[in-house]
Structure 1
């Protein structure tokens, strides 16, 4: 003990040689000896004349950074047996001792001081330990003693533990076997379902009757539409169909509505309240690209919106029906890279109050976004592949130099440019709703890229992009609703030629091109395509096929997992068979474009399904049957995920609850 207490007078080598582990009983004897010498009692922390072991040790223990070197105490370095950062124990009886009784007024060892303090707290709050003080040593706690104490004291609660387990297990099993009620499922689906709709223009020769139109929409599983007016016959025909509709205020009616609240009230009563809720009107589009096409009417836009909103409030419909105005992409300046985008400052007097209104009413900003026009105006800078959602190699992806976000298509970049523009005006809670987007299938000599193949590729990939809930690089958690322009070719529209050829269908309801939408869930469920596949061409040598196969599975990023050893399409193990699968995977991923089935003459397009046995090729009609565990309908998936999430939360809650009960019993069991 003397060697231990004289530690500060020895060198490092002597310290390592002489220090021995002391039993706690020996240390207590030394402490008792110090207590029996009143003249050696320490009066203050800074006292240096005492020969007691504890004052010396206490004086040399390194303190917290905030108290180190105070009071003339020199820093010392001791063995790891010295407890670090112990609290200041009392030097005098009655100094902040909360009225406890001490055996004497001397110094108390740190671990005894801590134990006493915790014991005092036990009278006020529940103790944190069922075996307080057991196994305490200068180095911490003797775990073997603590273990023995716990085993001794918990024998009586084994029966309680068994009872808790018997209660908990049936409950957990019940939660796993019996799903929670699904009364919120459809509500969740509707709220989370990304919407793909269509615009319906009526400049069509021999336009079908409203009843035939609604029947056609139902046949094609089209559940979201936008009208360019509020045609009463169409609104009547849409009654009780569950088809949701955006009605519009034509530009030529803005003057009357923006100038008179009574006119706005009359418009809402006549075109909205008269049909809702039998006809599911979801929004009112006030004008169409007013800021850029009829700038003279721009001052009337906000008054018209406010008047219509007041009319909705009076009718009690303002929470069910949103109001906004479709804007052209040209209101955004410097859109590439998106992080540098901003709104045209000359329109600030309208855009700023518009965004404030949308934020206040939780309405979307309606935007008409056309990658087709971006490509046509920036050929050589913007790639066609970017515009059509075609797969890109990493080296061809657009990278925003300010954010380092990667953009694989123009559409996402256009949406993010709008979000950045709103952010520049301190608006971050308004979402973008794309009221128009599409690609023309026919154009004049100045529009060589307006082709059926490009229109098919763009719209097919757009639908998949939206329903896959990919979002944008800036907001991957937000998927904008999209309305394709448009349902029918409007052959009565004025030149250029492309203006009359944006439709998915001709006026007689026949498809304009073989739109591929398989895997798009409920939207356009009656696929308008003939199934086509890309396979290896007969007569091509195996070395050429192998090179093409390697490219498809490598840089081409085709999904070649099914042709790996042991998978369903590995046998027969022939280059031609494997190449056909890889070619078709690349072809289907690329939207079935003719250019994506070439491979330097090694591949060809066929309408014959190349699937065989258990090997199902991508794009095959039997593909969904072979994967019954996958839900194609995105809304069903969201509902199922929500229910599963609720079940998991309930299970976790019960687990935590019963664990807490058990721990409470254990920790409250005092010796």
Structure 2
């Protein structure tokens, strides 16, 4: 008899196949207040030349959305602050917005999120009462268009709504917009969306009256005598960026929400400033951006959430010389309009921004709701046009007969076929990306280098008749043990 320890060990190996996901990505914001703004097609060429895979638009510019078609680049489209009020007051206005600015472009253009307004709670508080209504109306419109599996709805907020972000463990949202914040977080939780945070260490440092050293804002190492420590948790913060993200997590915790990840939708450092802006320099901007890329690319989160990488969008692609305000406001760009770097730039720290030739697979998340997995499976096999024949009874990928296993195959088949024209790996938050090939025995997942004409090592149906697709897991423990025991024996013989 094969010992139970082999059974357990192999199960851990199989679980590990599905749990090793890609880490955080670096994206960029694309502002258009540029006097010599390149054409939309030229902008996309520049983005692709630098192998940037994620962008955020502040509106839903039709020229950019058309130019991005077929690129596979993930796009956040923006509802402007001026549009929020109308969308919040009218479900039909929201539906028209989604039809015009999202539904008419996907799947060719890979729109994955809608950013509703920009820092509404701090910059246009008079609109705050309808912000969540606008988000709800847009989400319902996405559901009606059958796009909610692929397009999330959120709203970027400034760190200013957290009046005392340090120490992070005691941070809390400003009490005045508390009810709106609570409703916003409830919406994000209900829709499996994420919190969009605009976090600027530049302002944290320049407005900090010398409380923190500039090295702390620039991700530079600090001497041991100057380590930044939260006195309540004893967590060490090696950068102001991490502290800002953690302050937001703790503020979310303070309102009794959990499981809402944070995406930094804006961060950066100006490369030039006026006489009263001595820290806006080319050197500091280059240091910040290059260290930011290295920081994000290590795939870890802030001290309180080490296992949640910090997806981040750099502010911004080009210098927006037409923007009003101080000199620094016009000089946040990373690239010149001809595509050359404004300052020495090392994008090699991020496999995502430089592109990644490693094959990736889209699989169902551990712990995902079976009802949502079933909905995702039904969509993939139906409208998504995934090839689901191999997960039918008697076929190579039918066993293990579980919704999660079947969903993983269907999700991946859809993703491999459609990713180049905008297909995403989300499925209402039930899917995730992994670099591990989930193929097993005779079941070869689409995209696997081990696939050979769609056939594996064993003939289909070798385990006999089993229950139809969709009835849930019916494979008995004895059969599982037989399969695992055979695999263990195979390993031993090797």
Q: Deviations over 1:6-49 (max 9, x none)?
A: xxxxxxxxxxxxxxxxxxxxxxxxxxxxxxxxxxxxxxxxxxxx
Identify which of 84, 95, 102 aligns with 1:254.
84
Report whether the alignment pairs 1:390 with 2:223. no
What is the CA–CA distance in structure 1 between the aligned matches of 2:151 and 2:317, rounded to whole Å? 23
Identify which of 242, 248, 266 aligns with 1:412.
242
Report whether the alignment pairs 1:267 with 2:97. yes
Aligned to 1:302: 132
Aligned to 1:439: 269
Report whether the alignment pairs 1:192 with 2:22. yes
Unaligned runs of 5+ in 1: 1-160, 170-174, 527-637, 648-652, 662-671
What is the CA–CA distance in structure 2 between the aligned matches of 1:660 and 1:452, rounded to whole Å? 59
Greater Rg by CA: 1
Q: Deviations over 1:578-634 (max 9, x none)?
A: xxxxxxxxxxxxxxxxxxxxxxxxxxxxxxxxxxxxxxxxxxxxxxxxxxxxxxxxx
Aligned to 2:200: 370
What is the CA–CA distance in structure 2 between the aligned matches of 1:384 and 1:465, rounded to whole Å? 17
Aligned runs of 1:54-203 on 2, under 5 Å? 192-203=22-33
What is the CA–CA distance in structure 1 between the aligned matches of 2:88 and 2:487, rounded to whole Å? 63
Aligned runs of 1:502-521 on 2, under 5 Å? 502-521=332-351
Report whether the alignment pairs 1:293 with 2:123. yes
Aligned to 1:449: 279
Report whether the alignment pairs 1:224 with 2:54. yes
Identify which of 317, 329, 344 aligns with 2:159.
329
What is the CA–CA distance in structure 2 between the aligned matches of 1:326 and 1:659, rounded to whole Å? 49
Deviation at 1:394, TM superposition (A): 2.7
Contact 1:489 1:502 in 2 (8 A): yes
What is the CA–CA distance in structure 2 between the aligned matches of 1:266 and 1:401, rounded to whole Å? 50
Aligned runs of 1:480-495 on 2, under 5 Å? 480-495=310-325
What is the CA–CA distance in structure 2 between the aligned matches of 1:297 and 1:247, rounded to whole Å? 19
Deviation at 1:302, TM superposition (A): 1.1
Report whether the alignment pairs 1:355 with 2:175. no
Contact 1:331 1:343 in 2 (8 A): yes
Contact 1:205 1:507 in 2 (8 A): no
SS of residue paired to 1:427: coil
Contact 1:200 1:488 in 2 (8 A): yes
Contact 1:368 1:437 in 2 (8 A): yes
SS of residue paired to 1:226: strand
Report whether the alignment pairs 1:657 with 2:470. no
Q: Deviations over 1:100-147 (max 9, x none)?
A: xxxxxxxxxxxxxxxxxxxxxxxxxxxxxxxxxxxxxxxxxxxxxxxx
Deviation at 1:397, TM superposition (A): 1.6
Aligned runs of 1:266-665 on 2, under 5 Å? 266-524=96-354, 639-640=434-435, 642-643=436-437, 657=485
What is the CA–CA distance in structure 2 between the aligned matches of 1:481 and 1:375, rounded to whole Å? 22
Deviation at 1:507, TM superposition (A): 2.5
TM-align CA RMSD? 3.0
Contact 2:25 2:352 in 1 (8 A): no
Contact 1:251 1:290 in 2 (8 A): yes
What is the CA–CA distance in structure 1 between the aligned matches of 2:437 and 2:98, rounded to whole Å? 38
Q: Which runs of 4+ in 1 moved over 3 A?
A: 642-647, 653-661
Aligned to 2:39: 209
What is the CA–CA distance in structure 2 between the aligned matches of 1:656 and 1:219, rounded to whole Å? 47
Contact 2:172 2:250 in 1 (8 A): yes
Matched residue count: 368
Deviation at 1:205, TM superposition (A): 1.3
Q: CA 1:271–1:472 in 2, change beyond 3 Å: closer, same or farther?
A: same
Deviation at 1:508, TM superposition (A): 3.0
Q: CA 1:212–1:367 in 2, change beyond 3 Å: closer, same or farther?
A: same
TM-score by length of 1: 0.52
Deviation at 1:639, TM superposition (A): 4.6
SS of residue paired to 1:474: helix
Deviation at 1:399, TM superposition (A): 0.6
Aligned to 1:585: none
Deviation at 1:258, TM superposition (A): 1.1
What is the CA–CA distance in structure 2 between the aligned matches of 1:659 and 1:303, rounded to whole Å? 54
Deviation at 1:654, TM superposition (A): 8.6
Q: CA 1:654–1:339 in 2, change beyond 3 Å: closer, same or farther?
A: farther
